[in-house]
Amino acid sequence: MAHVILDSVRKTYPNGYKAVHGADFNISDGEFIVLVGPSGCGKSTLLRMIAGLEDVTDGEIIIGDTVVNDVDPARRDIAMVFQNYALYPHMTVRQNMAYGLKNQRMSKDAIAERITEAAKTLRLEEFLERKPGQLSGGQRQRVAMGRAIVRNPKVFLFDEPLSNLDAKLRTQLRAELKALHKRLSGTFVYVTHDQVEAMSLADRIIIMSAGQVEQIGTPMDLYLQPASRFVADFIGSPSMNMLQGTIGADGHTVDMGNESTLRFAAPIDAQPGTKVDVGIRPEHLQATSSSAAQFGLTVDFIEQLGADTVVHGKLTGQTDPLTLRLTGVHSIATGESFSLHSALENIHLFDSATGKRLN
C-alpha cells in the first residue's frame, strides 16, 4: 500500500488540447479517493496518467517513494478496472486473473492460491472455468476486480467500473466495493461521473471541471460547503436551486428582487451591488407561514418518489425555476403556491461572474 502524490500534473494532447491544467493533490495510504466531474473534465485522463497509459506532459506523479512518470504501467504496482471490463474474451476467468501474474513469472502454486482467495472474496468460485462471454455484466466486472486483486497492487484504479451496469446491480456492487476497500485497506482511486457513487464511496472527493480541480474534500464538505457554483450544482440530486440576487449596501444583505431580503450575520466577502447566485438545496427549503417567507413557489408539476416528493415550480411572479423536496407522500396540485423559508446557514452565495463562494 502506498500514497500517491500528484505535483502540478498537466496533460496536453499532441493536437494542442489541454485535458488537465495542473492537478496538485496527495492521496494518503489506504484512502478511497473518487475523481468526479462531467464527461470531458479530465478525470479519466488523470487516472490514466496515474496508471501510465498516458504520458505526463508536465509535473510529477509519485507512487510510494518513486517518481513514476517514466515507469512502465506493469512496473508501477497498480491495477486497473475498466468501464467495459476489458477481460480477455478467449481466456477463462481463471486465465484472465492469472495472466498478469504469469507475466511476472510467479510460480503456478502461488498464482493458484491468489486466485482461490480472490475468487472467494468476490464469490466467483463457480465461474472460474467459464469464459467472460458466458457471464453477466455484474459477474464480468467482479472478474475484472478479481484480476486487480490478485496482483496485490499498491494502488487500485477504477475507471467508471459501474457505468455499464443497471441501477440495481450498481447499488449492490457499490456496497461490495466499499467492503472490499475495507478488507484490502488499499489505496483506491476511482473515477465516475455519477455523484451518488462519489458521495457513497469516497473518503475524499476530487471534483473536476474543464481540466481544473474545483474542490477536494470529504463528501460532506462538498455538500455543506461547496467551494464554487459548479460544485454546488454538481453535488446533490435534485440539484441546488440557484436564484439571482444583489449584495445590499451594508454588505450583510442580499436583495432578492421581489421585496424579500436575506440578512446574514457575518459580512459577505464582496462589494455592494455585486450580482450573486443564491444557492439553496431543495431539501433545505421548508414550507412556512407567509409572514416568515423568504420565497414563494408556484407549482408546475410534482414527482412522487415514495420516500420523497419533489415539487418543481417557479419563483412566484418570476420565471426562475425552483425545486422543493418534501419527505413523505404529499398530494399537491399544479398552480398551488408555497411560502418557503430556509435557515441562513443552508444558503450558499456565489459570485455570479466567477462562480466562487462568497460566504
Partner 1 sequence: MADIQTNSAASTVRRPRSKPIRWGLIGNHAILITGSLFMLLPVLLAFFTSTHTDVTIHKEGVQFFFGSEGGSNYHDAMFKKGGFSQNVDGARMMVNSLILGLGFAVGKIIISMMAAYAIVYFRFRFGTFAFWIIFTTLLLPLEVRILPSYEVVQSLGMLNTYSGLIIPLIASATGTFFFRQFFRSVPEELLEAARIDGAGPFKFFVDILFPLSQTMIAAIFIIMFVFGWNQYLWPTLMTTDESMFTLVRGVKQIMQAWVGGGNDIPEYSGAMALAILAMAPPIAIVIFFQNWFVKGLTESDK
The stretch among 47-55, 210-218, 267-275, 277-285 that binds partner 1 (CB under 8 A) is 47-55
* Cell numbers that stand for 198 in this block: 462519489
The reply on whether position 49 binds partner 1 by CB under 8 A is: no
Beta-sheet pairing, 187-192 with 155-159: parallel
Residues 234-273 that bind partner 1 (CB under 8 A): none
Give, as one character, the DSSP assignment of residue 145: H
Spatial separation of the C-alpha atoms in residues 59 and 46, rounded to whole Å: 12
Instruction: CB nearer to partner 1: give 26 or 104.
Output: 104
Spatial separation of the C-alpha atoms in residues 156 and 1, rounded to whole Å: 10
Between the CA of residue 199 and those of 26, 97, 126, 134, 254, what are the distances in Å?
19, 30, 33, 33, 31
Nearest approach, Cβ of 168 to partner 1 (angstroms)?
A: 25
Task: Figure out which of the listed residues 9, 34, 51, 322 binds partner 1, where binding follows CB under 8 A.
Answer: 51
Chain centroid to CA 240: 16
Size of interface with partner 1, in residues (CB under 8 A): 25
Residues 295-334 that bind partner 1 (CB under 8 A): none
Instruction: CB nearer to partner 1: give 2 or 262.
Output: 2
Spatial separation of the C-alpha atoms in residues 332 and 311, rounded to whole Å: 8
Instruction: CB nearer to partner 1: give 104 or 172.
Output: 104
Nearest approach, Cβ of 51 to partner 1 (angstroms)?
A: 7
Instruction: CB nearer to partner 1: give 80 or 278.
Output: 80
Binding mask 139-158 for partner 1 (x = CB under 8 A): --------x-----------
Residues 66-125 that bind partner 1 (CB under 8 A): 72-75, 78-80, 82-90, 99-100, 103-104
Nearest to 34 by CA among 176, 166, 163, 216: 216
Nearest approach, Cβ of 159 to partner 1 (angstroms)?
A: 9
Q: What is the 3-state secondary structure of 262-316? A: EECCCCCCCCCCCEEEEEECHHHCEECCHHHCCEEEEEEEEEECCCEEEEEEEEC
Instruction: CB nearer to partner 1: give 102 or 182.
Output: 102
Residue listed under C-alpha cell 511476472 = 104
Nearest approach, Cβ of 74 to partner 1 (angstroms)?
A: 3
Spatial separation of the C-alpha atoms in residues 85 and 104, rounded to whole Å: 22
The stretch among 45-53, 181-189, 263-271, 301-309 that binds partner 1 (CB under 8 A) is 45-53
Instruction: Say which residues have a Cβ less than 8 Å from residue 328's Cβ, sequence separation at least 6.
Output: 307, 308, 309
Instruction: CB nearer to partner 1: give 79 or 115.
Output: 79
Nearest approach, Cβ of 75 to partner 1 (angstroms)?
A: 8
Nearest approach, Cβ of 79 to partner 1 (angstroms)?
A: 7
Instruction: CB nearer to partner 1: give 103 or 271.
Output: 103
Please list the helix, strand and coil fractions of the chain in percent, rounded to the nearest 5, in that order.
30, 35, 40
Nearest to 200 by CA among 219, 182, 216, 222: 219
Instruction: CB nearer to partner 1: give 47 or 242.
Output: 47
Instruction: CB nearer to partner 1: give 114 or 325.
Output: 114
Nearest approach, Cβ of 91 to partner 1 (angstroms)?
A: 8
| Contact predicate 143/96, CB 8 Å | yes
Nearest approach, Cβ of 88 to partner 1 (angstroms)?
A: 6
For 214, phi and psi rounded to 5 degrees? -85, -45
Contact residues toward partner 1 (CB under 8 A) are 51-53, 72-75, 78-80, 82-90, 99-100, 103-104, 133, 147
